[in-house]
Chain A
Amino acid sequence: AQRVTQPEKLLSVFKGAPVELKCNYSYSGSPELFWYVQYSRQRLQLLLRHISRESIKGFTADLNKGETSFHLKKPFAQEEDSAMYYCALRKTEQGNLIFGKGTKLSVKP
């Protein structure tokens, strides 16, 4: 069965420190991977997707098929990055998103 695992419920770092939010997935095919973010009192929104291979708000994520991982990274965390981050997988043959349980990132001043 398809599954997305985010091992950290909470990640706390200081402003300016590097941050890495881990995501591992299980899927036998070629998935699409996404990171969604939810800031306080805001709706869930797309942060980035692996097929775009772009950097959004300084965040990047590389799909590693060998390790079945899609970790989210940022070299210098900012206080405004504090939010819930969800990794999600979509099987290529249908549109449903399968989400991980989320990681709460707290960036301290």
Chain B
Amino acid sequence: EAGVVQSPRYKIIEKKQPVAFWCNPISGHNTLYWYRQNLGQGPELLIRYENEEAVDDSQLPKDRFSAERLKGVDSTLKIQPAELGDSAVYLCASSQPVNTEAFFGQGTRLTVV
């Protein structure tokens, strides 16, 4: 079992450019989370999916961030356009029905220059 798989691991882009992150959760996990972790901080939730439905996106900056989870499996998180302050590690996690252990991916480290 590979666990939660994220790609790319690292991404460097210029500000105002678009960027996308991909996440493949553990097979059978219906709940998927995207977190953002700024330097020196703990992870903060961006969006949570139950199957293909976004059930909590209250912390997602919707003017520039978007996410989708087609068919309730893989998910993509997009930023367009990126800003310098978006530099962070973007973590994906998945779990079975909502109140069980969340398993995290390795994360994507985004640097916006």
Out of B45, B95, B99, B104, which one reaches A45, CB within 8 Å?
A: B104
Contact: B56 with A94, CB < 8 Å? yes
**Chain B residue total in the interface (Cβ 8 A):** 23
**Given A32-B99, A94-B98, A44 and B45 touching (CB < 8 A)?**
no
How distant is A48 from chain B, measured CB to nearest CB, in Å?
11
Choose from B3, B33, B41 the contact partner of A43 (Cβ within 8 Å): B3
Interface string of A43-63 (1 = CB under 8 A from B): 111100100000000000000
Contact indicator A99/B42 (Cβ below 8 Å): yes
In the complex, how many angstroms separate the beta carbon of A21 from the nearest chain B beta carbon?
13
A30 and B86 alpha carbons, distance in the complex (Å): 33
> Of the candidates B42, B91, B99, B103, which one forms a contact with A102 in the assembled complex, judged by CB atoms under 8 Å apart?
B42
